[in-house]
Structures are given as structure tokens and as C-alpha cells.
Amino acid sequence: MSLALREVDGVEITSLMDNFFDAIMAGNETARRAPLTRDVFSRPQPRAEHGSSMLITISWEGHRESLLLDTGITPDGVLHNVDALRVEPGPLRAIVLSHGHVDHTGGLMAALARFGRDVPVHVHPDAFRKRKVVFPDGREVDMPQLNPDALAAAGVTVVAGHEPSLLVDGHVLLSGEVARTTGFEKGLPNQHAEVDGQWQPDPATCDDQAVVMHVRDKGLVVVTGCGHSGIVNTLRYAQALTGVSALYAVIGGLHLSGANFEKIIPPTVAELERLAPQIIVPCHCTGWKAAQAIATALPWAFIPNSVGTRYVL
């Protein structure tokens, strides 16, 4: 399968929420950090939380359009950062939910209240599943459910589908359900979901999807939320869907944090070396061990993230 993803002249991605904020982190021409204005320390400070949200703006032939990927975990965190960072998102063409976990959907209703309930929300149907994580010692952690009834009651247009689709006049690819092709990316082994009233294992998190753009003369920009599908699976799938092999930038969560995932850091990094993106920005749930391994293996490509950073691609 190859979809006719139209090229763009440029992409700007602003990290509105992530696990880390550093007000004085050095940047470069690609990673433009939150500005140090004269009043920066007397204004409300940006927040970091265990969540993710990115404002994606694309440009082509004099046009500029924006969409929001994920909305963080707290109801007000992303909007607090929009105000603290003095970000002007402008009209949104869409809100995309990378998957249904609350650290990506918690601020959805607040975002819709701010940006307009007429903004369509794109999501995989499994994102509405009721889920929990079960640990070997018997502990259970509930995952608050994305509520379709609340969205319907608010008059929100929900676009739900399993398949890849093109957004923003064909300039943005939403991957849909990612094909699993590696032998080592096996998902979240202790996740369970309620299906037809019964709890059952749900390791795959099939609702996990990515956003893809094709920058002219550069290659693909792939943006993930958590990367539960596996970042290697996701990148391979983006290449297969578009017919474009060149990887310009990989930005987002790679879900390599925690005991279940640290063991797959070596094969993941080895495959990233082979895929050779020009830029890689591990965010959110990647974890320090994986980020360090990526920085060591791909020092020319690695850029650490901080809330408020604007990536100019």
C-alpha cells in the first residue's frame, strides 16, 4: 500500500507538554527553546508532567495549517503551557489522539473548550476501551477511560477508524493501526482491557498511531505519542505507507522506560542506527536509559526535549 502523501515545505513542532522542562537548556537552529524574555522568571512557569502534547504546523505554497497531537494528562496542563509560553496556535484543523491512555487524552475537553468544539477529533476505535495495568505482585492501576458519551454530548465530531488516512488536504498522514513487523516490539505485556464485559489481556494497544509528514528534499517526519506499536514498527510502516525511505526526523515517545522495556533498548537502537534518521528527539516515556543509548549511538541526530521547544524542520 502506498498513499499519496503530499510534500510540505516545512514543519514546526512545538512541545506543549512533556515529562521535562529546563528553562536554560541550549538549543540550535532546529530546536528553538522557550525564549528567555526579561520577565521569564516572574511569569507563570511552564509545567512538565507525565503526559504529551505537540502542536504541529505545516507550510506549503504560502499556506500554514496546524493540528494538535494529544492533550496531556491533566485537564489544564496544556492550556497552562500555551499561556505561559505565549503560544498562538491559531485555528486548528484537527486534534489527533495517538491512543486512548489518559496521559494523552486528559486535557481533551479543555482543549476543545479553548480551540472550538467544531475541531474534529481523530482517534482509533480502541482508544475508548476501559483498561488497567496488572503487576506481578497483584497490584492494579486503573487507566481512566476516554468517554465517547461526553464527546457526543458536547457536540464533538469524532472521526474513528483503524486504517491510515490523509488529513490537512493530503499533507498529513495519520498512520492508523500500525503493522507489527519486528520480533522484539511486543507491546505492553501487563495491560488488560474490558471487552464485552470481560477483562482480557490487551498488550498490543492497537489504537497507537503516529502522524507523518513529508518535507520536500528531506524525507519523512514521524511524530509519536508513546510509540506503543514500537518505534521501529512505526517507522517501517510510515515508509511502507508513503513509499518514502528517507527519514528526516523522529520526534515523540518511544516507550522504552521501565523493566519490561529496557531489555529491548539494544535491538531498538541498533535498528534506529540502520534507519538513520537525521534528527531524533526522544520524549515522554522513552526513559533516561534509552535516551542515553540513543545519544551515544546517534550523537549527530540526538536532540533532548524540553517543554516549550519549537522544532523547525
Q: How confident is the model at residue 175 (pLDDT cuts 50, 70, 90)?
A: very high
Q: Where are the beta strands (DSSP E) in 135-246?
A: 140-143, 158-160, 165-167, 172-174, 191-195, 198-201, 211-215, 219-224
Q: How far is CA 57 from CA 8, 34, 136, in A?
A: 10, 17, 42
Q: Rounded to an integer, what distance in angstroms lies between the CA atom of residue 100 and that of residue 73?
A: 11
Q: Please, what are the domains in the chain?
A: 7-312 (3.60.15.10)
DSSP per-residue string spanning 96-149: E-SSS-HHHHTTHHHHHHHH-TTS-EEE-GGGG-EEEEE-TTS-EEEEPPP-HH
Residue 140: all three cell numbers together: 492494579
Q: Which of 227, 224, 230 is nearest to 183 (CA)?
A: 230
Residue 241: all three cell numbers together: 505507507
Residue 162: all three cell numbers together: 483503524
- pLDDT tens digit sequence for 64-122: 999 999 999 999 999 999 999 999 998 999 999 999 999 999 999 999 999 998 999 99
Q: Which residues pair with 160 in a beta bridge?
A: 123
- pLDDT tens digit sequence for 28-61: 999 999 999 899 889 999 999 999 999 999 999 9
Q: Which residues pair with 281 in a beta bridge?
A: 251
Q: How far is CA 105 from CA 109, 146, 309, in A?
A: 9, 7, 21
Q: Which of 253, 242, 202, 196 is nearest to 220 (CA)?
A: 242
Return the pLDDT at 145. Answer: 93
Q: What is the mean pLDDT of residues 288-312?
A: 98
Return the pLDDT at 1. Answer: 61
Q: How confident is the model at residue 2 (pLDDT cuts 50, 70, 90)?
A: confident
The rounded mean pLDDT for the chain is 96
Residue 185: all three cell numbers together: 516490539
**What percentage of the chain exceeds 70 in pLDDT?**
100
Q: How far is CA 275 from CA 2, 189, 260, 292, 295, in A?
A: 19, 26, 24, 18, 15
Global pTM? Answer: 0.97
Q: How confident is the model at residue 3 (pLDDT cuts 50, 70, 90)?
A: confident
Using the structure block, give the residue that is written with the C-alpha cell 491512543.
99
Q: How confident is the model at residue 156 (pLDDT cuts 50, 70, 90)?
A: very high
Q: How many CB atoms lie within 10 A of CB 260?
A: 15
Compute φ and ψ for 164, nearest 5 degrees. -65, 150
Whether 173 has a pLDDT exceeding 90, the answer reads yes
Give SS3 for 242: helix
